[in-house]
């Protein structure tokens, strides 16, 4: 039995197979659609949520995990006599999660470390996976934390966002950018890079092929920045857009020297802000 447990938020897209393989513990975010409330991964799936969005034209919202859910996790870990490393999405995107966890920690007093990945979606999941691999290898809590922080410094994400209204309603961008994207009939390209922890625009394109070329070009830029010739891991993710994801994988395989390419679909929490049809890649340059 490993001494360090990795705990992360639901909904970024980490496949169940990987979650089970590495013993990752997930806490659920709240999902609010109209007058209905759900717990991500507990009583609603990404497929169900996307169907509701299409049929009812409703923009969902997320909320922080409940203190009760976090307390239950902490008490279980404390009872087992193990340590926990919470690997969380950017605090600049979900400050309420950190507040809930801090309150839960005060109630339980468990031995935990909290890490801010400064990432979301595929970028976050890459970091969670690297932390879980380190824990599975029998590393101490301090070693897991140090490794994870090194990964954070070299992990970025870049995505194509066909409809900016979801980022707008989620408070991630202003209305002017939504109107500009709509008027120009382009696909905006956004990123979370360089440990900024926030969504930033990096360009726009007319179609899937052009977006994917921009993603590849950006990865190449970061390889030069880190003086590296190979990407350790790339995670390609999408929200009901297999065509774009497959096209992206093909162009990455043809142009990027990469040790590992993983594919996953966005979870509910990751779909809420970029919306359906979004896709992109998170990448870790070792």
Say yes or no: 145 and 253 in one domain. no
Give the per-residue pLDDT at 204: 87
Say yes or no: 10 and 127 in one domain. yes
Give the per-residue pLDDT at 184: 53
Q: Identify the domain boundary among 91, 117, 152.
A: 152
Say yes or no: 179 and 266 in one domain. yes
270 touches 12 (CB < 8 A):
yes
Q: Where are the beta strands (DSSP E) in 74-181?
A: 83-88, 112-116, 155-160
Tens of pLDDT, residue by residue over 99-151, are: 999 999 999 988 899 999 999 999 999 999 999 999 999 999 999 999 999 99
Range(s) of the domain holding residue 96: 4-152
Domain of 133, CATH number, reads 3.40.50.10170
Per the structure, the count of domains in the chain is 2
- Average pLDDT along the chain: 91
84 touches 5 (CB < 8 A):
yes
Q: How far is CA 159 from CA 43, 64, 87, 243, in A?
A: 27, 24, 22, 14
Give the per-residue pLDDT at 179: 41
Domain of 226, CATH number, reads 3.30.1180.10
β-bridge pairing 279-284 and 258-265: unpaired
Give the per-residue pLDDT at 109: 86
Give the per-residue pLDDT at 167: 63
129 touches 152 (CB < 8 A):
no
Say yes or no: 59 and 132 in one domain. yes
Say yes or no: 99 and 206 in one domain. no
β-bridge pairing 83-88 and 112-116: parallel
Say yes or no: 103 and 186 in one domain. no
Say yes or no: 89 and 189 in one domain. no
Say yes or no: 27 and 114 in one domain. yes
Say yes or no: 184 and 280 in one domain. yes
Say yes or no: 210 and 280 in one domain. yes
Q: Identify the domain boundary among 122, 152, 182.
A: 152
Say yes or no: 189 and 67 in one domain. no
Q: Identify the domain boundary among 110, 136, 152.
A: 152
Give the angle 221-225-231 at the CA atoms, nearest 5°.
Answer: 70
Give the per-residue pLDDT at 169: 56
Question: Which residues of the chain fall short of a pLDDT of 50?
Answer: 172-176, 178-183
Give the per-residue pLDDT at 275: 87
Residue with tokens 């969902």: 60
Say yes or no: 65 and 124 in one domain. yes
């Amino acid at each position: 039995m490993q001494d360090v447990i990795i705990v992360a938020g639901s909904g970024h897209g980490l496949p169940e197979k990987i979650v089970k393989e590495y013993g990752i513990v997930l806490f659920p975010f709240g999902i609010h659609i109209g007058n209905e409330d759900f717990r991500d991964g507990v009583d609603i799936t990404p497929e169900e949520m996307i169907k509701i969005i299409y049929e009812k034209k409703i923009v969902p919202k997320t909320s922080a995990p409940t203190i009760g859910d976090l307390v239950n996790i902490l008490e279980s870990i404390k009872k087992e006599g193990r340590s926990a490393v919470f690997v969380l999405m950017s605090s600049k995107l979900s400050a309420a999660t950190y507040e809930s966890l801090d309150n839960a920690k005060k109630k339980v007093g468990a031995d935990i470390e909290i890490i801010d990945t400064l990432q979301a979606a595929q970028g976050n999941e890459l970091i969670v996976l690297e932390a879980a691999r380190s824990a599975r290898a029998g590393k101490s809590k301090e070693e897991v934390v140090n490794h994870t922080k090194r990964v954070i410094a070299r992990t970025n994400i870049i995505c194509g966002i066909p409809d900016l209204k979801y980022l707008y309603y989620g408070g991630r961008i202003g209305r002017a950018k939504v109107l500009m994207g709509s008027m120009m009939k382009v696909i905006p390209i956004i990123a979370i890079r360089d440990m900024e922890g926030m969504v930033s625009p990096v360009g726009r394109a007319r179609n899937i092929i052009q977006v994917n070329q921009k993603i590849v070009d950006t990865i190449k830029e970061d390889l030069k920045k880190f003086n590296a010739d190979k990407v350790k891991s790339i995670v390609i993710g999408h929200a009901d857009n297999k065509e774009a994801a497959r096209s992206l994988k093909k162009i990455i395989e043809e142009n990027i020297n990469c040790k590992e390419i993983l594919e996953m679909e966005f979870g509910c929490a990751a779909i809420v802000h970029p919306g359906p049809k979004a896709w992109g890649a998170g990448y870790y340059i070792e």
